[in-house]
A = this chain, B = another copy of it.
Amino acid sequence: MGCAPMGHILYDEVMRYNPKNPYWFNRDRFVLSAGHGCMLQYALLHLAGYDAVKEEDLKQFRQWGSSTPGHPENFETPGVEVTTGPLGQGIANAVGLALAEKHLAARFNKPDSEIVDHYTYCIVGDGCNMEGILTEACSLAGHWGLGKLIVFYDDNHISIDGDTEIAFTEDVSGRFEALGWHTLWVKNGNDGYDEIRKAIQEAKSVTDKPTMIKVTTTIGFGSPNKADWDAKFAQYEQKYPEDAATLKSIITGELPAGWADALPQYTTESPADATRNLSQQCLNALAKVVPGLIGGSADLASSNMTLLKMFGDFQKDTPEERNVRFGVREHGMGAICNGIALHTPGLIPYCATFFVFTDYMRGAMRISALSEAGVIYVMTHDSIGLGEDGPTHQPIEHLVSFRAMPNMLMFRPADGKETAGAYKVAVLNRKRPSILALSRQKLPHLPGTSIEGVAKGGYTISDNSTGNKPDYIIMSTGSEVEIAVKAAEELTKEGKTVRVVSFVCWELFDEQSDEYKESVLPEAVTARISIEAGSTLGWQKYVGSKGKTIGIDKFGASAPAPKIYKEYGITAENVIAAAKSL
């Protein structure tokens, strides 16, 4: 790719219009996918007057502590809004950004005031085009008719292993057309400045389809925005005060006072229910008070229980609605949600599938964590408890795999209070994504659980000892907390003192004070047992050398859930036996 002409057009047509106001809401968004001009991106930010990218930073490219790391990171370099290192993430981010624009415009624009109005541009190369995530995201962009998304395909016939002839000979434009896109081809991109400008105008004239412009050799783009948005907004505010207030809260990310009070209240008298159902109650309660909540499922809405009942579907002609139908496109879904989250602080995207299929979208989830995008991942069918669907659908290693992922909050709530508590933390954490692992099967509402307890990650839910010295500590998460409680009751009957700890979010517990930790897990008590229907790996950290772990270190099986629990030894009897062996 020839950087010079592209840089020229970028600077000439875009950045010079608003160099000093990089963060105003209505500006066009630009996504450069991986491998595309890391250094170019920094140079442009420098030229455009972003203070954080000084000339000396350019010289420190890829060096320790510089603002110019090897791949642009949104948390490192002001002006960089999404982290697009791994191939295909950038284009899916761009679809999310364009979705956010279309949605907010439909909700807040008035015939006399187009308060939300910008384009999203993205540059992709051959590498991105080979990734499945690109087709997932672009199929949705076509379906949704994201007319203000303009993608440049840098058709230079080169990927890392060499000429694309070795592995990539498909008709890329044909594929985009099949996905419902408007396509253009600038055959001479090298010095065809006018051709590129013309193509951009032509792309803008087609408003019901996204446009893919194939550019041979070199590309560029422009945007005619002016910095008059503040005045426009003042006028809007005067005429539509209510909408203006809502939009403002979305732009700033400020949550309405008392929003958390809207979360459902549960008691031990509430009917037993699957946490996936309780999750839907929480989501629907939140949607009433959190104006930026938007999301959906990868073709499992009625299993994941993610529909917002008071809203319709976000579709091509109803973009103001909030139920997004992602289809079976997990990876695209996650990266699109990153784009939504990073478009505007108050947009809070959630997305859902079966917990085991995080394997299909882990690339995007890691970027949520790395790029501080507070996406809420609603992951149901969280263990062998899902039963008959069998081992391909039963998570085993997934909890520990996310507990090890930096900046990711991994929740596994035990009942209604803990589900509400997890949502409270998740909504508040706009720079940390959250995963809620939720049960398919019914669970009772337990005594001792609480919304406040969840915020501490691990907390005592029952204890018949005094002096912080129980005979045993039984720790657990999610659907197995019920089993831990049963085992504790039995042991108590036999005259033992037992503490039950719900370890709903390890990351939050690890951040508590040493004093608090000692109050939950006193060093002197080494008779500790963990029980969780997943890999035991990692629990050694809490049970210690003398403790015992009960879990599952092999794949699951297809049968009714209670049968699998019994066969796999995830039972109160086993907890009791383990305790007695200590």
Which A residues are closer than 8 A to B by beta carbons? 62-66, 69-71, 73, 83, 85-88, 126-128, 130-136, 139-140, 142-143, 159-161, 164, 166-175, 177-180, 297, 299-303, 313, 315, 325-332, 356-357, 359-360, 362-363, 365-367, 369-370, 387-393, 396-397, 400-401, 403-407, 526, 535, 537-538, 540-541, 544-546, 553-555, 557-560, 563-564, 567
A171 touches B161 (CB 8 A): no
Would you mind naming 8 contact pairs between A and B with Cβ atoms under 8 Å apart?
A63-B563, A73-B390, A128-B328, A130-B139, A131-B330, A143-B167, A171-B180, A396-B404
A328 touches B87 (CB 8 A): yes
B140 touches A167 (CB 8 A): yes
Among the listed B62, B329, B388, B545, which residue makes an inter-chain contact with A70, where contact means beta carbons less than 8 Å apart?
A: B388
B142 touches A132 (CB 8 A): no
B167 touches A327 (CB 8 A): yes
Nearest neighbor of A401 in chain B, beta-carbon distance: B401
B-side contacts of A161, CB under 8 Å: 297, 299-302, 325
B327 touches A130 (CB 8 A): yes
Contact A70/B389 with A132-B331, A170-B139, A540-B541 known, Cβ cut-off 8 Å: yes
Among the listed B131, B301, B553, B559, which residue makes an inter-chain contact with A406, where contact means beta carbons less than 8 Å apart?
A: B553
7 A-B pairs with the lowest CB-CB distances in the bound complex, closest first:
A132-B132, A85-B392, A174-B178, A69-B558, A167-B327, A64-B559, A401-B401
Interface-central residue, A136, A369, A540, by most chain B CB under 10 Å? A540
B-side contacts of A303, CB under 8 Å: 160
Interface-central residue, A87, A360, A365, by most chain B CB under 10 Å? A360
B391 touches A370 (CB 8 A): yes
B-side contacts of A83, CB under 8 Å: 392
Nearest neighbor of A176 in chain B, beta-carbon distance: B178
Complexed CA–CA distance, A176 and B546 (Å): 58
B392 touches A396 (CB 8 A): no
B-side contacts of A167, CB under 8 Å: 140, 143, 299, 325-327
Nearest neighbor of A139 in chain B, beta-carbon distance: B170
Copies in the complex: 2
B86 touches A360 (CB 8 A): yes
Contact A131/B390 with A64-B564, A362-B362 known, Cβ cut-off 8 Å: no
A170 touches B174 (CB 8 A): no
Contact A313/B166 with A161-B302, A301-B161, A392-B367 known, Cβ cut-off 8 Å: yes
B559 touches A63 (CB 8 A): yes
Complexed CA–CA distance, A558 and B179 (Å): 37
Nearest neighbor of A126 in chain B, beta-carbon distance: B328
Nearest neighbor of A365 in chain B, beta-carbon distance: B359
Complexed CA–CA distance, A566 and B407 (Å): 22
B132 touches A329 (CB 8 A): yes
Among the listed B64, B131, B363, B387, which residue makes an inter-chain contact with A557, where contact means beta carbons less than 8 Å apart?
A: B64
B-side contacts of A302, CB under 8 Å: 160-161
A69 touches B329 (CB 8 A): no
Among the listed B326, B397, B541, which residue makes an inter-chain contact with A405, where contact means beta carbons less than 8 Å apart?
A: B397
Complexed CA–CA distance, A133 and B134 (Å): 11
B391 touches A397 (CB 8 A): no
Contact A143/B131 with A86-B357, A178-B178, A301-B161 known, Cβ cut-off 8 Å: no
Complexed CA–CA distance, A175 and B173 (Å): 10
A400 touches B392 (CB 8 A): no
B-side contacts of A407, CB under 8 Å: 554-555
Among the listed B66, B142, B400, B526, which residue makes an inter-chain contact with A170, where contact means beta carbons less than 8 Å apart?
A: B142
A406 touches B397 (CB 8 A): yes
B-side contacts of A404, CB under 8 Å: 396-397, 400-401, 535, 537-538
B160 touches A143 (CB 8 A): no
Complexed CA–CA distance, A329 and B392 (Å): 22
B-side contacts of A366, CB under 8 Å: 359
B-side contacts of A299, CB under 8 Å: 127, 130, 159-161, 167
B-side contacts of A172, CB under 8 Å: 178
Interface-central residue, A83, A171, A554, by most chain B CB under 10 Å? A171
B-side contacts of A87, CB under 8 Å: 328
Complexed CA–CA distance, A132 and B387 (Å): 27
Complexed CA–CA distance, A401 and B535 (Å): 10
Contact A169/B180 with A363-B359, A564-B64 known, Cβ cut-off 8 Å: yes
Interface-central residue, A178, A370, A404, by most chain B CB under 10 Å? A404
Contact A555/B370 with A139-B168, A161-B300 known, Cβ cut-off 8 Å: yes
Complexed CA–CA distance, A136 and B400 (Å): 29
B132 touches A136 (CB 8 A): yes
Interface-central residue, A85, A553, A558, by most chain B CB under 10 Å? A558
A183 → B minimal CB distance (Å): 11
